[in-house]
Structure 1
Amino acid sequence: MDDEPPPQGVSAKALEATLLSALKMLDVGKWPIFSLCSPEEIKLIRQACVFGSAGNEVLYATENDEVFVLGMNCSGCLGTGDMQSTIEPRRLDSLCGKKIACLSYGSGPHVVLATEEGEVYTWGHNAYSQLGNGTTNHGFVPCQVSTNLVNKKVIEVACGSHHSMVLTSDGEVYTWGYNNSGQVGSGSTANQPIPRRVTSCLQNKIVVNIACGQMCSMAVVENGEVYVWGYNGNGQLGLGSSGNQPTPCRIAALQGIRVQRVACGYAHTLVLTDEGQIYAWGANSYGQLGTGNKSNQSYPTTVIVDKDRVVEIAACHSAHTSAAKTQSGQVFMWGQCRGQSVTFPHLTHFACTDDVFACFATPAVMWRLLSVEPDDHLTVAQSLKKEFDNPETADLKFLVDGKYIHVHKVLLKIRCEHFRSILNNDDEIIEMSEFSYPVYRAFLEYLYTDNIRLPPEDAIGLLDLATLYRENRLKKLCQQTIKQGICEENAIALLSAAVKYEAQDLEEFCFRFCINHLTVVTQTQGFADMDHDLLKNFISKASRVGAFRN
């Protein structure tokens, strides 16, 4: 066979699977609650939502569509059938295999979840009927909400403090729960125990996006208009007043502006237009409107977030923090930042808006269900890794110890001075006899990945190659690998190799190891066979550091 599995018995398919698994791994490291999970558990996570009054609860789904929860379990919000807190992940059997599409949560907390099939499940706090099951009994396990949602496919969910809202695939909005300020949009202030469609002026509209503040609700319709209802004491409805609104009302001040998305904070609102601009209104005690001051605004106000187009806005009904991501990938935040006030959009060092809420918001909860990108997009570096030893795209083969290694001439020339000088366009196969197959394969793979995968005992040969080809960075990596494999039996051999290849860092390391294990090292065969000059230098240097003192 032309190809041989890479060193250490790892198959090419296994390596590719490992790479893809790494690509799909969710970055949850900035959320403290995940420190309760093992690295092995975290590697399997594909979706996650941190919620609760202090970010002390989390639900996550794995690559096998298993669903787990852990945390404080306030009001039974973990759905485990009890109110016991847990620092060990507990499996929610009733949701395993369901494939979660979206999730939101309230302040109780209660949880509303929709599956990819469009089914809705709720559990947790229910004193205001926010679970939609017609009762006010807390829900300790996930139960499907079917009343008035039969034959409806739910594609988006949103929760306020104690009310719930869902959007169906045909553009209808259904609400239920707490309604003291008209936040369910029914026209009254009576709590609503089961889902009912929000009609009024939304009757003949197709809604494309929904959001909830603590006690208000928002909907964007397909022509870009924004409709609002519920509590308005801070001007969060954007109607120019502070009076509550019991039924949906269009924001007239946005006439002629086509809104794509709406996001609600505790008592402030952000919208993103089709031109990549942000408007904000509502409470502003922490500067969460990004206007440079702390004055509330009851009308939509333009937010200047750099000169770049904004592609994502973020807010959470439990926080006074705002965030945005631009087309170039820059992430900005403003509002409450770990207790401080940021009144203008501030450029962060983050790559996603989710990290803003993990590190700056109070409480540190997620503004959305965090999911792995579904398209498995590869970076340039990841693409190059994948193409190493790929016969389908390679235009050059190295024949080493009777085995082929498939590579790409242009990459070798870009990455290595040695290949720039020796490769010709008409080369198809190059025989290599100076180095072993594991060593040369590791070298070529290094050019694709910037890393070496080689047992310490083979890294001596790679150190020889790195010295010959004047690859200084590779030389350093080889020394690090060799250090990991040192023992009393091979210490002298490694010391000899370090001297031969002028690897000073490795030489010093091996010398120190020999001194620290001098009695055993001097009894090995390697010490007995030691080169005369090397032995002489070793004894001299050992004497200088006091190795032979009684």
Structure 2
Amino acid sequence: MTHSSIMVDVGKWPIFTLLSPQEIASIRKACVFGTSANEAIYITHNDEVFVFGLNCSNCLGTGDNQSTIVPKKLEALCGKKISSLSYGSGPHVVLCTEDGEVYAWGHNGYSQLGNGTTNQGITPVQVCTNLLIKKVVEVACGSHHSMALSFDGDLYAWGYNNCGQVGSGSTANQPTPRRVSNCLQGKMVVGIACGQTSSMAVVNNGEVYGWGYNGNGQLGLGNNGNQLTPCRVAALHGVCILQIACGYAHTLALTDEGLLYAWGANTYGQLGTGNKSNQLSPVQIMMEKERVVEIAACHSAHTSAAKTQSGQVYMWGQCRGQSVIFPHLTHFACTDDVFACFATPAVMWRLLSVGLLDLATSYCENRLKKLCQHIIKRGITVENAFSLLSAAVRYDAEDLEEFCFKFCVNHLTEVTQTTAFWQMDGPLLKEFIAKASKCGAFKN
């Protein structure tokens, strides 16, 4: 894994040109949302939360329906340390904090705010039912439904359910968070994503499940029938999926070996297959024989992006109104820039951390630790051992570091001949050699 640093510039999103240089300099995290990418939320270095933009459907959370080009503070969220945020096209916004609390506001015609009513949410309100005892680490929104993933791998869903996207087994709307079980019962979910009216989940053994609307094959099940409960994507049997991403009606999946799969709607070439035919089952997408480390899609756009191990960023699908049917190599340093410059609307596909990022911080820390453990369960290899060791050191995952170190020492000759070993930072290499020699690795 190459260790590259990049500076992400929020100025690439047109809406941020409204802010002064001082306001821009204060931003630590940000998200641009809305049907025309004209609403934004940002968090400052001292954890104050501000919103600005056109107040479509009262979605700024300021308590009134006024638009504002001057940032307004959301007092209810200041100091809360927001860790994950998602938005639906209703629009509504759902976020979670580092303490695992969930807040929501905005359009609520289908109970997508999870408070048991259908009343508009004009300010952020904590989602309490069934979630108070859970530490939520990730949230995801479809157009009018919402999901929350807890630290212990339980998944909750609520809101609009006309196609089964809440996974309850019926098509009745779900007014409060409900645990998604059925096939997920007893499984630990490690990643979630929503299309407009569909839902996807990855569990810790690398299996993928989908439910909800499937008219374009976006669930990857080989047919186009809707699913009212989670259904396993059987075609991915034998590969271990680490990350899942959903566009408006298509899905991308990334394996632990850096392979990319895509399925679903393909009107704009968003699958990257070289044509515009929908795919009902996963198809592998070639990326110049390079290992992919991150995939990006957003349920309000038909654009796809991926970043490879060497730091190259590709984009395809609907790019500024054009249909790009093969992955196209860009000059960008991160997938976020693809959405700033080419997605319609120019939204963000995730809550963006502003400032210096390395390759590994594109995943939130808890998730990376969980995913590393889940790679190892599937079998550490000579090829990936040193990359895993390096990730474990960076993330202070001591058990994992010890596990990887022992593996490297036991397979020393093979490991020292891998590319990953020679690409490693000097200090880490020296530390490894010193520690290995103390264990007697170099005795004749």
Distance of aligned partners of 1:26 and 1:275 in 2 relative to their CA distance in 1, 3 Å threshold: closer
Counterpart in the other structure of 2:315 = 333
Contact preservation (8 Å) 1:24, 1:46 = no
Cα deviation, residue 214, structure 1: 0.3
Corresponding residue number in structure 1 for 2:105: 123
Which structure features the higher share of helix residues? 1
1:25 Cα deviation after fit: 7.5
Name structure 1 gaps, 5 residues minimum.
1-22, 378-550
> Alignment partner of 1:354: what SS?
helix
Give SS of 2:12's match: coil
AA matched with 2:132: V
2:29 to 20, 41, 47: 47
Give the CA deviation at 1:74. Answer: 1.2
Which protein, 1 or 2, shows the higher relative CO under an 8 Å CA cutoff with sep ≥ 6?
A: 2
Partner amino acid, structure 2, of 1:332: Y
Structure 2 residue aligned with 1:309: 291
Tell me whether 1:190 sits opposite 2:158 in the alignment: no
The structure 2 residue matched to 1:256, chosen from 219, 238, 242, is: 238
Quote the residue 1:60 is aligned against: 42
Aligned pair 1:148/2:135, yes or no? Answer: no
User: 1:139 pairs with 121, 133, 137, which one?
Assistant: 121
Distance 1:281 1:171 in 2: 25
- How far off its partner does 1:123 sit? 0.2
Establish whether residue 93 from structure 1 lines up as the match of residue 93 from structure 2: no
Amino acid at match of 1:254: L
**Counterpart amino acid of 1:239?**
L
Matches within 5 A, 1:42-441: 42-372=24-354
Letter in 1 for 2:33: F
Name the structure where strand makes up a greater proportion of residues: 2
- 2:217 alignment partner AA: G
Partner of 1:392: none
Distance 1:341 1:376, change over 3 A: closer
Instruction: State the distance in 2 between where 1:112 and 1:358 align.
Output: 21
Tell me what 2:383 maps to. none
Q: CA deviation at 1:376?
A: 8.5
C-alpha deviation, 1:372, in angstroms: 3.3
Q: What TM-score comes out, normalization by structure 1 length?
A: 0.64
User: Take 1:278 and 1:340, find their aligned partners in 2: how far apart are those partners?
Assistant: 23
Alignment match, 1:16: none
The number of equivalent residue pairs is 355
**Which residue of structure 1 lines up, in the alignment, with residue 376 of structure 2?**
none
2:336 aligns to what SS in structure 1?
Answer: helix
* RMSD value, Cα: 1.4
The CA deviation at 1:374 is: 7.5
Q: Separation in 2 of the partners of 1:26 and 1:41? A: 16
After TM superposition, the score normalised by the length of structure 2 is 0.79
Measure, in 2, the Cα distance between the counterparts of 1:90 and 1:183: 34
Percent identity reads 76
Unaligned runs of 5+ in 2: 360-444
Partner of 1:33: 15
Bigger radius of gyration, 1 or 2? 1
> Is the CA contact 1:108–1:161 (under 8 Å) kept in the aligned structure 2?
yes
Contact conserved, 1:24 with 1:372, CA < 8 A, in 2?
no
The C-alpha deviation readout for 1:283-335, integer Å capped at 9, x for no partner, is 00000000000000001000111221100000000110000000111000000
